[in-house]
Structure 1
């Protein structure tokens, strides 16, 4: 009896965990936009409300895709908003707030970046909206959360101050920029800077999405909605683990100045940044057995037998600069990939220092189908970071990865939302357009 050919089973698509959950996003915050996009990734139906006319300002912020239609070519906007529907509405006016209130009747979650006082003024605060939709969860993503009650004379000053805050100022206000930008040789000449690559917005978006999931689960279990606040300041301060611990154990003198000859002791082990033919690698033979395998990989050069230079870990820490020069003589003759693969085979901690092209070509990321394909151009799809997790059931069904994603066209859902769902006539829509409401 001949063996039949075995056909590998086809991947089964996992039903989206948030299928049927209806989310309305009204915000001017990158953090809130990323939060809503993560919920969309999990299957929620997200309706993004954009300012009539120009839409989200991020539509006009680069980088831009080549050969794409104007207004649909902004890569950052596409990353934060793909998978959503777009409708134009200005809830900050009375007519717009009334329309948003009607949309709330069939919504599960409202995500906003408006300040609590403004929401109350428009009767769009959580307590008021839950009189219409008792199970509604409201999530406010703002720089500071709700501020203490202030008299009327200071409210406008508060609003102006909040509007002035950016990722740059928030990281300094929270102390994170100071912590991240040390140690340096000349603190007066090397000031702290903001987090790289929109870290505040993305970290806050993840935290806000977790909070939203908790609120939705509570509403599902108890039939009662919640008001949730996620402050960017809280999220940034939450990252300050080491400074708070140092203060707790009595440290009171903090300096950004690098202490000379202190070595490169980081996270419990020595690390080196070594040049290669085509870039750099980081190497960290932390344990004695790792060090022995590392110098063996280097060919046991004569300097590796010098006990005073590198015989003990303390000696390696003291002579790290000399050792870096010696090890670099070998790594300069090899590519990053060669050093990385050899070190990994020898079970020595090592990784190449990667740029954007390296990430796009990274074998591990591609094997995990990490990158989505953004169909934002007429001719060539562009790679875009995808889901930061995989989700698979015991039976093998999995959440789709390596997806084809598109940027929502401004106002593309207007007719479905206002005419078919809310029942407005074309004439009413035209009047609202002329008034700048939709």
Structure 2
């Protein structure tokens, strides 16, 4: 975690955009990071999102680091705050008949229910979409699960209880879908360098965006026709649809897929050459793919003697064959400069180049800050902490913008209980106390 950079004030000409989903009521009952991210994006767009958490302990992500150093215990988990800021938190366990009855009452005034429970579990609790739409005909139900609700008879997924959260992880899903194999190739020693899962919660976040698109479609359909829909979004489907290249390769006849890197072909990317070069303070990626770019690049390096050796680098084929020697030669120059210096000089020379950034670099990134990308997570002590914000900018033709660079806070566990159960549903304090003792709320 890093301290938030001071955000530039909104331009005087900027008019805040009215929240597109204002008035839309969403209930999130899930143990899925994908479902939580979907609900958070809908909240960013103005939906009123009620997050139902297990009574007592709450969402397990409340206990997963990294943690803010000065935040209150239970409200200090950064990942939980990122996925859930802007929501209301209430505690409810629908596995109890009384809990399922309360969820049905909440659904009567809801537009969308997001869940990660399998269809069989929902049917067992009498909380499936068809049943709930008898109470609220325009209700959209969105199930975000690892494999979806329709499983092949011989699918390995059937061998494990689909309601067990630990049964499937990003690691197992990326391997099951073939994405880990594709992402982790080629390497020099496949037997010693096994493919690994995607980094940085890629499966959860990608699925969350896909689920958000599906939810918006469902809400629009319900608004137009007054009839709700049951939607399912499978993480496996989302991962598999990213495999454009290997499926195309198979279609053209390739049958031998190997993760072994062939010597002297490690720098071939997108039809050109790229190099990872060390600098005084890190690394840059340089990609003089075309001949005119290469000429400007070696001119920037001062036209060293090796650059005039036609056998070494006179043509792209030669540069490809001698990439390691060229990398060592070019690194002699880049090591004397900072990443920013190399980047700025290469950009000025119209050569593709960018610094390899870490977390601090992102927080100080001028482009991200100009776009007000980072939110400020409050409740973490005297200084708010930076947190990635909306992954898009929404602006109307008249110039109104959806606010970015916002102040956000992590919802306290059960902070909406009174408003939801007593004020909205009319439960008495005595009834609430009984439900607490029973573990329902």
From 219, 229, 253, give the equivalent of 1:216. 219
Structure 2 residue 367 is the aligned partner of structure 1 residue 370: no
Cα displacement string for residues 350-376 of structure 1 (whole angstroms, at most 9, x for unaligned residues):
000000111111111111111000003
From 94, 100, 103, give the equivalent of 2:103. 100
Structure 2 residue 68 is the aligned partner of structure 1 residue 69: no
From 317, 322, 340, give the equivalent of 1:319. 322
Q: Using the alignment, how far apart are the partners of 1:88 and 1:69 within structure 2?
A: 19
Q: Using the alignment, how far apart are the partners of 1:408 and 1:76 within structure 2?
A: 13
User: Would the aligned equivalents of 2:132 and 2:139 in 1 still touch at CA under 8 Å?
Assistant: yes
Question: Which residue of structure 2 aligns with residue 355 of structure 1?
Answer: 358
Structure 2 residue 31 is the aligned partner of structure 1 residue 35: no
Cα displacement string for residues 20-46 of structure 1 (whole angstroms, at most 9, x for unaligned residues):
110000000001000000100111000
User: Would the aligned equivalents of 2:117 and 2:163 in 1 still touch at CA under 8 Å?
Assistant: no
Structure 2, unaligned stretches of length 5 or more? 1-10
Structure 2 residue 173 is the aligned partner of structure 1 residue 170: yes
Q: Quote how far apart the aligned CAs of 1:160 are.
A: 7.0
Specify the SS of the correspondent of 1:114.
coil
Structure 2 residue 251 is the aligned partner of structure 1 residue 228: no
Question: Which residue of structure 2 aligns with residue 133 of structure 1?
Answer: 136
Q: Using the alignment, how far apart are the partners of 1:160 and 1:348 within structure 2?
A: 51
Q: Quote how far apart the aligned CAs of 1:157 are.
A: 4.5
User: Would the aligned equivalents of 2:15 and 2:399 in 1 still touch at CA under 8 Å?
Assistant: yes
Q: Using the alignment, how far apart are the partners of 1:168 and 1:318 within structure 2?
A: 35
Report the count of equivalent residues: 429
Q: Using the alignment, how far apart are the partners of 1:407 and 1:19 within structure 2?
A: 21
User: Would the aligned equivalents of 1:263 and 1:318 in 2 still touch at CA under 8 Å?
Assistant: no
Q: Quote how far apart the aligned CAs of 1:378 are.
A: 2.3
Q: Quote how far apart the aligned CAs of 1:165 are.
A: 1.2
Specify the SS of the correspondent of 2:342.
helix
Q: Using the alignment, how far apart are the partners of 1:155 and 1:246 within structure 2?
A: 30
User: Would the aligned equivalents of 2:376 and 2:407 in 1 still touch at CA under 8 Å?
Assistant: yes
Q: Using the alignment, how far apart are the partners of 1:163 and 1:281 within structure 2?
A: 39
Specify the SS of the correspondent of 1:293.
helix
Q: Using the alignment, how far apart are the partners of 1:155 and 1:426 within structure 2?
A: 43
Q: What's the TM-score once normalised by structure 1's chain length?
A: 0.95
Q: Quote how far apart the aligned CAs of 1:222 are.
A: 0.9
Distance 1:157 1:399, change over 3 A: closer
Alignment of structure 1 residues 24-423 onto 2, 5 Å: 24-148=27-151, 157-159=160-162, 163-423=166-426
Cα displacement string for residues 184-214 of structure 1 (whole angstroms, at most 9, x for unaligned residues):
1111111111110111111110110011011
Q: Using the alignment, how far apart are the partners of 1:162 and 1:65 within structure 2?
A: 26
Q: Quote how far apart the aligned CAs of 1:163 are.
A: 4.5
Distance 1:148 1:326, change over 3 A: closer
Specify the SS of the correspondent of 2:16.
coil
Root-mean-square deviation over aligned CA pairs: 1.6
Structure 1, unaligned stretches of length 5 or more? 1-7
Q: Quote how far apart the aligned CAs of 1:261 are.
A: 1.6
Q: Using the alignment, how far apart are the partners of 1:224 and 1:184 within structure 2?
A: 52
Q: Using the alignment, how far apart are the partners of 2:254 and 2:152 within structure 1?
A: 35
Structure 2 residue 440 is the aligned partner of structure 1 residue 437: yes
Cα displacement string for residues 63-121 of structure 1 (whole angstroms, at most 9, x for unaligned residues):
10011111000000000000000000001111100000000000000000000001011
Q: Using the alignment, how far apart are the partners of 1:369 and 1:332 within structure 2?
A: 33
Distance 1:231 1:160, change over 3 A: closer
User: Would the aligned equivalents of 1:86 and 1:411 in 2 still touch at CA under 8 Å?
Assistant: yes
User: Would the aligned equivalents of 1:86 and 1:410 in 2 still touch at CA under 8 Å?
Assistant: yes
Runs of 4+ with deviation above 6 angstroms: none
Q: Using the alignment, how far apart are the partners of 1:200 and 1:112 within structure 2?
A: 17
Specify the SS of the correspondent of 2:200.
helix
Q: Using the alignment, how far apart are the partners of 1:60 and 1:219 within structure 2?
A: 37
User: Would the aligned equivalents of 1:23 and 1:47 in 2 still touch at CA under 8 Å?
Assistant: yes
Q: Quote how far apart the aligned CAs of 1:155 are.
A: 7.2
User: Would the aligned equivalents of 2:51 and 2:88 in 1 still touch at CA under 8 Å?
Assistant: yes
